[in-house]
Structure formats: structure tokens, C-alpha cells
Chains A and B, each alone.
Chain A
């Protein structure tokens, strides 16, 4: 049974140190200790950490060599004929790939070194693309080269199951998208869909948080940015609520520990996405600008391409998570749904009130106050939810994240609105003292819980 793949390294480390203490205290027999040790492969931990260290060394070495190759290409060594240069780099790419594959998969004598060499092969493949542009004076936008690099790295990542290749593919594809969007701001872009279709199955295949995190970031950032390019913050806000809701609902739809590599980052980024958009929209100046973006709404439809699927997918995922039996889904934070609904209500009301804005000219408007209030309430709800889940789930991280959110909300509002210095002083003092009292109370609560359990 591969239980060691289903739990975190931290859990296994703690368990290994506790096992000795439990055995010494007579809580478990040596046989039971051995059985637990076997179940979680605790004996292999030293080997695994040495392996991880060696792999990191090989990868850093590969990255340094790749930097050297890129610099060499950039130096444009002119004594060597163009074709020889091409043959040299293509040969180096092939040598790294074939040698790496041999050591990793065929002979399997030095798998870590072999894997590092395959990653180096893909890095040199990227350098070769730059060299070809240089040798043949290919005039093309740099991001097209990044797209070619991403395709090569992605194929290799799928075939050999390589996390470094997957990361190269995600990063280069994201750079491609940034460059492309800068040059084609008003053009249909399918990058978020292609990124999700290309990288999410890879993340499942490799069962790696290192692949999940950049994938969630690439998809989320591209969806929100594309939505916001055309009609500004209103669409970006809707898309962010969609992506935040989708990620969060995805993160809570399962309690399986072997899916923690994907559900845990999804929950985190879902919360983060909602918190960022609520924080931004809570500012008076930003909220005031939201209706302006609706002036030319009838001329635009591209913002719907990322926004509508994000919202629909979020709704579908929420329904899926809601109908799962209680024991098979992670309990939902009581604040996330109200926060998302508050944001949607604020943005939706702004849309309804101002959708005819072009006909109203450029006069002053005040309907954005609904958006400001709903965003502030959403932020407060998220913070309260984090603090509550920190207390009930005994998680210091959640608790302090919620506290920081409340503090940032209060500080932002006080700097934003002109109030008397006495009022500011009183508010800061009250918040500071309240924060310390709350922190002490929480620590005391943690201590009591530990005492009770002991």
C-alpha cells in the first residue's frame, strides 16, 4: 500500500519522530511501530530526501548550463559557420535527451541525473530556437519562439512524466500569452482554455503541486486579464469571482488525501482570488471607475469568452460540491459563498444600473456605492470565515490570514477616507489592541485544546 504518497512529507517526518516516543512510553508495541513505519515507508525517508537534494542539484546545474548556452548563443560566436552552430546545438539537445533517457528509463542506473539531463535537453532546445532566429535572421515576435518552446517541452513532459519539463512548458506558454496579448489586445484569445486542457491532465498525471500551482496561476491570471482587457474591472471582477468560486469549489469537493496536491492549492487560490478582487473593488476610486467601462459595452463581446465559462464552471462545480455526501467533501468555509454572492450582487447591480451609461453622458454618478459596500462586506466575510475556520480547524495560518485581511481592510479604509486625526488614532488603537487580545485569546484556545486532547 503506497500510503506514503497520500500524506505530506511533514506528516511522515512528525510521525517518524513520534513513533520512537510512543514506543518508549509503552503506547505501542515494537511490532505496531514497525507496521506503522512500513505503512508510511518511513525507512525510505532519508533516501528520499537525499534523492530530492541530488535532483535539485542536478536541476540547478542544468539551469546554469542552459544559461551558459543562451549566453553563448547571444554572444553570436562568428568564427563558427552558421550550419555548424545549428548542428552543435541540435546535437547537444539530442545528446542530453538520449543520454538522460538512457540513464533514467532504460538502464535506470542514475535516474535523477538522467531526469536532469532530459530537462537540460529541453532548455537547450529553447536556446536552439533563439539560435535559429539569429542564424536565419528570422523576424518574428519573441513570444512565437516561446510558443514553439512550450510545445516541445509539453510533449516531452507528457511522454517521460517530467515535472521540470512541465514547468518549462507552463512558464514559456504564459510568456507567449503575455506577449501575444500585448500585441493583439482586441482579439479572441483561447489561451486559458488551451492551458487548462494542456496542463491540468499533466498535473493529474504527475500528481505534483509544482505543476498544479503554476497551472492554476496561469489559467486564473489569463482569464481575469482577458476579461478585463475590453471593458475593464467589471468583467475582470466577474471573471475573478468565477475563477475564485471555481477553484474553491474544486478544492472542497473531495476529502481524499491523495488529491491534496490539487485540492489544497485550489482552495488557497480560490480564497486568494476572491480576497484580491474584493480588496480592489472596496476602494472608492476603483469602484467609481467600474461603470465607466460600460460606456461602450454594446461594441464588445470578447470579454464574455473567458468570463461566461468561468462563471458557469464555478456554478457547476459549486453544485457538484454541494450534492456530494458530507463525509466526501471538505466542509465549506461559511464565508466564501456569501462573499462571492456579495461581489456578484455588487457587480451585477452596477451592470444593471449603468448598462445605459453612454446615453447619460459623462455626468456624476453615485450608484457605485452599492459596489463599494458589497466589496467591503465580502472582504469582511472572507476574513471572518478565515478566522472562524482557524479557530474551529485549529489552523494558525487561517486565523492569522483572516486577521491580516481585517487589518488591511481597516488600514485601507482609514487611509482612503479623510477623517480627523483623533478618530484615526482611536481606530488604530482599538484595532491594534483588539488584534493583540484576539491573538492571545486564540493562542489560549489552542493551548486549552491541546490540554484537553492530552
Chain B
């Protein structure tokens, strides 16, 4: 085989490797992750490159906001009230636990992967930004055909949107489906 053919095969393999590496974490989380449900607050921009998508933010994107009046003691909730003081782009692990409504809530924020978690607790990895903590779950793509229906559903039930997420053992998360009241979008 000529040398250029070998180099060409290598170049094609590089392109395939790029395509394989891009979704690798997401696929692993989908295959092995723990199922978690999060409450969302959506907006709806438009992307030429990837069709229609929503930019999502979650209650857990700003952990502690809903718990400032709660009873949790600072010892059990490290950084829950002070994560905003961390440097931007800092890696954090937010401990999630299922709430009474079935939606999961942030219990604590750590700057390293926590060990000895209580049963039912799931650590999800994120990065602190100026606009809250980002988990890589902030984009949901949907088909053009359902755009209007999603818009209508969101307008009708602005407080009833949630997502199903899979979180793997390393804290990587992937978005599985969006639910608005009783309607499911995948």
C-alpha cells in the first residue's frame, strides 16, 4: 500500500475519532447513569447550525436560592450559600437528592468529588459561571415540527417544565427528555 494511502486512512481516522470523542461522555452517562428529574426555566433561541433548541436553566443552576430560609445547617451544606464566591470556571459537584414532588434538589456544593454520600444522593458535576452553575445540560434540541407546540406548552404551563437527566458515576450528566406537564419531548 502506498504511503499516501496510509496517511489518508490516518486522516480519516482522526476525523472519525473526533466524531466519536465528542459525544462519548454523554453516551456513557446515558448507558450507566442514575435517573434524575430537574425543574427547568426555559427560553427559546434559534441556531442556524443545529436547528431549533432551547437554552435551559434549572433551579439547581443556582443552588441554595430556595433554601436560604430553610433549616439546613451550614456544616451539612458546604458552599450552598457561598458558591457564588468561587472563581468563574471552577469545577464544582452539586449533591442532588429527590424532593417530595419527585423533582431533585441541590443539597450541597463541593469543589471536589465527594465521598461517602448518603443513600439517594447523587453528585452532578458542573462549572461555576457568572450566570450560575452550568452542567452541560443547558441545551435541548427539538424537531422543527414541534417548535410551535413546545412554545404553546411553555406559555400555558410555565411552571410545569422538567427534564429527565442521567448522571454517571463521575458526575457527568446527559439530558434525556423534556417534559411539560404531561407531554414528553425527546
Contacts and interface: CB of A to CB of B under 8 A. Distances in A.
Interface of A: 70, 73-78, 90, 93-94, 97-98, 101, 105-106, 122, 125, 128-140, 142, 145, 148, 151-152, 155-156, 158-160
Interface stretch (B19-27, B65-73, B98-106): B19-27
A125 B136 contact: no
A139 B125 CA distance: 14
Contact of B145 (A78, A128, A151): A78
Contacts of A125: 15, 18-19
Interface string B92-127: 000000000000000000000000000000000000
B139 interface: yes
B50 A74 contact: yes
A73 B7 CA distance: 30
A132 B174 CA distance: 13
B10 A136 contact: no
B23 A132 contact: yes
B175 interface: yes
Contacts of B16: 90, 94
B128 interface: no
B5 interface: yes
Contacts of B50: 73-74, 130-131, 133-134
Given A74-B51, A75-B51, A160-B8, A152 B15 contact: yes
A175 to B, nearest CB: 11
Interface in B29-51: 30, 47-51
B135 to A, nearest CB: 8
Given A145-B49, A152-B18, A159-B4, A137 B140 contact: yes
Contacts of A155: 10-11, 14-15
Given A105-B4, A151-B14, A152-B14, A76 B141 contact: yes
B142 A136 contact: no
B84 interface: no
A122 B19 CA distance: 12
Nearest to A137: B175
Interface residues of B, number: 39
B74 interface: no
Given A74-B51, A101-B8, A151-B18, A139 B136 contact: yes
A76 B15 contact: no
Contact of B5 (A76, A106, A133, A139): A106
A255 B161 CA distance: 69
Given A74-B49, A130-B50, A137-B141, 8 more contacts: A134-B50, A134-B51, A135-B141, A137-B174, A138-B139, A139-B134, A155-B11, A160-B8
A62 B138 CA distance: 33
A76 B144 contact: yes
Interface string B153-186: 0000000000000000000001100000000000
B86 interface: no
A327 to B, nearest CB: 39
B18 A138 contact: no
A128 B8 contact: no
A134 B141 CA distance: 6
A137 B137 contact: yes
Contacts of B53: 134
Contacts of A93: 15, 19
Nearest to B145: A78
B62 interface: no
A125 B13 CA distance: 12
Contact of A139 (B30, B49, B137, B142): B137
Nearest to B137: A139
B22 A148 contact: yes
A135 B23 CA distance: 9
A142 B144 CA distance: 20
Nearest to A100: B8
A132 B24 CA distance: 10
A183 to B, nearest CB: 10
A105 B174 contact: no
B19 A138 contact: no
A159 B8 contact: yes
A138 B22 contact: yes
Contacts of A122: 15
A324 to B, nearest CB: 36
Contact of A78 (B7, B11, B30, B143): B143
A148 B49 contact: no
Contacts of A136: 23, 26-27, 30, 174
Nearest to A97: B12
A344 B30 CA distance: 58
B127 to A, nearest CB: 11
A74 B23 contact: no
A136 B174 CA distance: 8
Contacts of B27: 136
A109 B5 CA distance: 16
Contacts of A140: 136, 139
Contacts of A77: 143
A108 to B, nearest CB: 12
26 contacts: A74-B48, A74-B52, A75-B51, A76-B52, A76-B142, A76-B144, A78-B145, A94-B12, A94-B16, A97-B15, A125-B18, A133-B22, A133-B50, A137-B26, A137-B139, A138-B23, A138-B139, A139-B134, A142-B47, A142-B49, A155-B11, A155-B15, A158-B11, A159-B10, A160-B4, A160-B8
A256 B59 CA distance: 66
A371 to B, nearest CB: 36
Contacts of B141: 76, 133-135, 137
A139 B19 contact: no
Given A76-B52, A101-B8, A136-B27, A129 B47 contact: no
